[in-house]
Amino acid sequence: MRIDVVTIFPDYLAALDLSLVGKARRAGLLDLRVHDLRDWTTDRHRTVDDTPFGGGAGMVMRPDVWGQALDELLTDPAEAGAGDEAEADVPPVTRGAHLVVPTPSGEVFTQRRAEELATEDRLVIACGRYEGIDARVVERYRASGHRVSELSIGDYVLNGGEVAALVMVEAVGRLLPGVVGNPHSLVEESHGAAGLLEYPVYTKPPRWQDRDVPEVLLSGHHARIERWRRDRALERTAARRPDMIAALDPRQLDAHDRDL
């Protein structure tokens, strides 16, 4: 998969050289390119923003600068200029390119969204700053047939889309084949297919500061361990995320779950 991130703070994305995502990049599983939006400005001051029409606080990112950047990154060079049905000023749609715009006013970015995005060949993530990007940018790329997702990582406001882009690249990147060494660890985790939060986990030593690891986990009794983990996952989800319990399909519950 290829992911292009456009930002006025490329250094924010330096963390993507580290850990699993960094390893995936070096292994050629993820082609991640970070671009400075100011490289597409044409004025001496490399201006990317201006005051909002209609008044109000803050600045808005200019559509013309974003248009230059996204035309270049979303247009497949092999298709550019091909086909006479396209409007003169609208570049042809890249096969598979999906434009992602992190914004607190977007739909919520969930594990399901991460799974969907992980099936794409190409993502372009446009990081806004200030009060956001001129609304015509998203309209224009939708109108030319691009898939465009405006996504929020949660109900709080960050200073820009960069931290959200880090979150999205990591959540999507770890789903790419070969990135997580043991694919089984993707199956059992919170927000996975079971629709439950993950059970608590323990490691050595078996006794620490007068606290023992639950005995069943030392028993070697596989079925009892599985049952214990499922019960703890259900309890934890009910206490912390009643919304997830309410959303469970009754067919996801077994007879013992119903007694709990």
Contact positions toward ligand ADE, by CB under 6 A?
Answer: 102-104, 152-154, 156-158, 160-161, 164
The CB-of-144 to ligand ADE minimum distance in angstroms stands at 23
Query: 122-161 burial, b for 16+ CB within 10 Å, e for fewer?
Result: bbbbbbbbbebbbeebbebbeebebbbbbbbbeeeebebb
* Exposure of 229 in the CB half-sphere (CA atoms within 13 A): 17
The CB-of-12 to ligand ADE minimum distance in angstroms stands at 12
| Alpha helix (H) residue ranges in the chain | 19-26, 63-74, 111-117, 136-143, 162-173, 184-187, 222-240, 242-246, 255-259
Q: Which is nearer to ligand ADE, 151 or 234 (CB)?
A: 151
The CB-of-258 to ligand ADE minimum distance in angstroms stands at 37
133 is in an annotated binding site: no
DSSP 58: S
157 is in an annotated binding site: yes
8 is in an annotated binding site: no
243 is in an annotated binding site: no
The CB-of-110 to ligand ADE minimum distance in angstroms stands at 12
Q: Which is nearer to ligand ADE, 92 or 161 (CB)?
A: 161
Q: Which residue has the tokens 């997580």?
A: 180
Q: Which is nearer to ligand ADE, 91 or 102 (CB)?
A: 102
128 is in an annotated binding site: yes
Distance separating alpha carbons of residues 229 and 206, to the nearest angstrom:
17
And the tokens for 137? Answer: 């940018």
Q: Which is nearer to ligand ADE, 104 or 192 (CB)?
A: 104
Q: Which residues are annotated as a binding site?
A: 128, 153-158
Q: Which residues are annotated as a binding site for S-adenosyl-L-methionine?
A: 128, 153-158
